[in-house]
């Protein structure tokens, strides 16, 4: 017996076969039929009576129902793509913190108390930074009381220009009320420079007064460009006019250097 299903294509099957093999809940449509392309039949009648139907709506609903039965692990496997850690994310220690803004850097220095803080300026494309990274992680592990702040030059280029960072890798040491202790650039070949600074400033000491953090001129430079809140810039009294003038001069000089750096294509020396 020949009949035309709602999908609009002829199928030659017997009534007995349809009754026996009809899947429950799918209106007697065999799953293999769903995968067939639409073949519109010229006949729009069934047993002499006109019928109306919507092919696309029926099959879109059918496919939607079928998709709900896809196993979860198959769906997860299709969208889950494993990504290996980038080199600056590998072997990080708990006392190594990634900095994402100037505000975060200033706050981390002010909240460090008497602990030694080391700022590590690096760039993802710097070969010297990549080679030195494993050793810095080892030194961070052997000095758990120190805080290592990692600053991505490419992500915070404007801030790095304001802090006069023009060579990579570059390091700065800070501690409590003493503020900045030293700053230098080193590579694998000159790692002794880093170890010597760590041995010199890594010993516990008591610093009277709150943590100083960045220099006043650096804070004002960051505030003038909107990178930090105005509340964090230094407040000068009437007796500090000379100090304020010197700070403003430093900011003018730093802004000129920053503009020159941008004009030169934001070039930075990488070891």
Catalytically active residues are 126, 129
| Contact status, residue 6 vs residue 53, Cβ threshold 8 Å | yes
Cα–Cα nearest to 152, from 104, 91, 113: 104
Count the alpha carbons within 13 Å of 92 in the hemisphere toward its beta carbon: 16
Q: Which residues, at least 6 apart from 8, have a Cβ–Cβ distance to it below 8 Å? A: 38, 39, 40, 41, 53, 55
- 215 exposure class (CB count in 10 Å sphere: 0-12, 13-18, 19+): middle
3-class SS at 179? Answer: strand
**C-alpha closest to that of 137 among 85, 96, 194:** 96
């Amino acid at each position: 017996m020949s009949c035309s299903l709602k999908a609009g294509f002829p199928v030659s099957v017997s009534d007995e076969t349809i009754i026996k093999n009809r899947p429950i809940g799918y209106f007697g449509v065999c799953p293999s039929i769903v995968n067939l392309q639409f073949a519109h039949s010229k006949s729009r009648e069934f047993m002499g009576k006109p019928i109306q139907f919507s092919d696309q709506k029926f099959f879109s609903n059918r496919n939607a129902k079928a998709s709900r039965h896809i196993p979860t692990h198959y769906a997860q496997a299709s969208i889950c793509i494993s990504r290996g850690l980038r080199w600056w994310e590998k072997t990080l220690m708990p006392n190594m913190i990634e900095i994402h803004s100037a505000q975060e850097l200033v706050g981390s220095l002010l909240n460090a108390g008497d602990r030694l803080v080391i700022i590590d300026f690096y760039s993802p494309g710097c070969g010297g930074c990549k080679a030195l990274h494993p050793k810095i992680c080892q030194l961070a592990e052997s000095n758990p009381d120190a805080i290592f702040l990692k600053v991505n030059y490419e992500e915070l280029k404007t801030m790095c220009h304001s802090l006069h960072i023009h060579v990579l890798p570059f390091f700065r040491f800070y501690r409590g009320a003493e503020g900045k202790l030293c700053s230098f650039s080193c590579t694998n070949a000159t790692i002794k420079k880093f170890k010597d600074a760590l041995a010199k400033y890594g010993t516990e000491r008591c610093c009277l007064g709150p943590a100083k953090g960045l220099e006043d001129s650096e804070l004002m430079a960051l505030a003038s460009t909107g990178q930090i809140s105005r509340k964090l810039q230094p407040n000068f009294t009437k007796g500090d006019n000379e100090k304020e003038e010197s700070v403003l001069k430093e900011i003018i000089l730093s802004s000129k250097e920053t503009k020159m750096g941008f004009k030169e294509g934001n070039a930075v020396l990488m070891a």
